[in-house]
Amino acid sequence: METTLKTKKEITDEEDAFMGSPVKTEKEIDSFEAIPAALSIKMEEGNDDNDNQSEASINPVDKITSLKTLGPFIASKDNTRNTRYLSDVPEICLRVPCMLGVDEAGRGPVLGPMVYGIAYCPLNSKQILTDLGCADSKELTEEKRDVIFDNINTQHYANSCIGWAVEIIAPNVISNNMLGRKKCSLNEISMNAAIDLIHAALEGGVNVAEVYVDTVGPPEKYQEKLQKIFPQLEITVAKKADSTFPIVSAASICAKVTRDHSLKVWQFPEGLKLTSKDFGSGYPGDPITRKFLSENVNYIFGFPRIVRFSWSTAQNALSETACVVEFDEPDSEKPKYAGPKLTTFFQSTTKNGEVKREQCRLLKERFLDSVVDF
């Protein structure tokens, strides 16, 4: 699939962009495109916020090799569709038993994607995770997370034994599935993303022996579900796993950094010229996010696609500002009484050939008989 960069001339009508058809996939959950060579976008000098969508010179990049290439790679993808990226598998992870951690970032925000991440390394490499400073990504500053992510990709002692992967789940894909005819809850979307990433690691040749997952919902049910799918693996699902298991912390950091940079390089298909400073963190309690929601509602077509319109925060804002639309859905149930069948009006015969005629309902209800002879 080719990646194109739109210019101002190509964006001629904001409302046309709002009418873009939603993404629909076979699993009703996500779709993945093959990851072609990405495009590296060189930001203009003098911009204090290198998270902006500045137009820039283009250099080919085929994979994420550092923090600097993460943003440009994401910016080259279609942010209305899901994107999955897998790092190179370290050679040692193909041979020796490995542990694999799973965690997510951006589950609660009303803006932007939700990102699921995995990280894996040999069972005897726990000290390397500690040396990197892996801890719960929510407890680390953004700068510290960026440093750890960069070290995982650039430092030989780390990238020679640690691999990772992320799945960026587009906000409109989340909402389309949650509000579609065949509804798919956020928990289902989350679990399927985790399962798909584990499958991807196994298919990539990673010698996975143990899996640690930060839970979604009751950990016992989630663990039972995963154990049935991966009976050959030793699986542990726990609350706050990102602060308990360093490998889950590494996955959490990869997911969080990827989401942060997804917002920084977000390009609006609707033609809005805004940066991440204009819409904030994306959490419903953020006043900048609330201001963005109140000021960027199209009367007919609603919000830009960065908004998860299935969230109550977005729905409340729509109810106050946007046009009310009613949809008439056909009744799925058959009417209780549809009248007599057409065949009841035709004569039928008995085995003896006698004509058998059903008495008229009007006469039957009034206990009347037809009079033939007077």
Q: Tell me: the pLDDT tens digits for 232-271? A: 999 999 999 999 999 999 999 999 999 999 999 999 988 8
* pLDDT single digits (tens) 165-205: 999 999 999 999 998 888 899 999 999 999 999 999 999 99
Average pLDDT over residues 107-131: 95
Give the pLDDT of residue 344: 59
Give the pLDDT of residue 60: 47
* Backbone dihedral angles phi then psi of residue 160, each to the nearest 5 degrees: -80, -10
Model confidence band, residue 339 (pLDDT cutoffs 50, 70, 90): low
Give the pLDDT of residue 8: 40
Model confidence band, residue 141 (pLDDT cutoffs 50, 70, 90): very high
Q: Which of 40-44, 63-67, 279-283, 363-367 has the lowest mean pLDDT?
A: 40-44
Average pLDDT over residues 9-15: 43
Average pLDDT over residues 277-304: 90
Average pLDDT over residues 9-36: 40
The CATH architecture that domain 67-265 belongs to is 2-Layer Sandwich (3.30)
Whether the per-residue pLDDT at 48 is higher than 50: the answer is no
Average pLDDT over residues 159-165: 97
Give the pLDDT of residue 22: 41
Q: CA–CA separation, 135 vs 147, rounded Å?
A: 13
Give the pLDDT of residue 373: 57
Q: CA–CA separation, 255 vs 261, rounded Å?
A: 10
Whether the per-residue pLDDT at 134 is higher than 60: the answer is yes
Domain boundaries, the chain: 67-265
Residue 365, annotated as binding a ligand:
no
Model confidence band, residue 367 (pLDDT cutoffs 50, 70, 90): confident
Average pLDDT over residues 89-110: 96
Tell me the pTM: 0.72
Give the pLDDT of residue 351: 61
Model confidence band, residue 337 (pLDDT cutoffs 50, 70, 90): low
Average pLDDT over residues 293-302: 88
Average pLDDT over residues 121-144: 89
Residue 55, annotated as binding a ligand:
no
Residue 143, annotated as binding a ligand:
no
Give the pLDDT of residue 245: 95
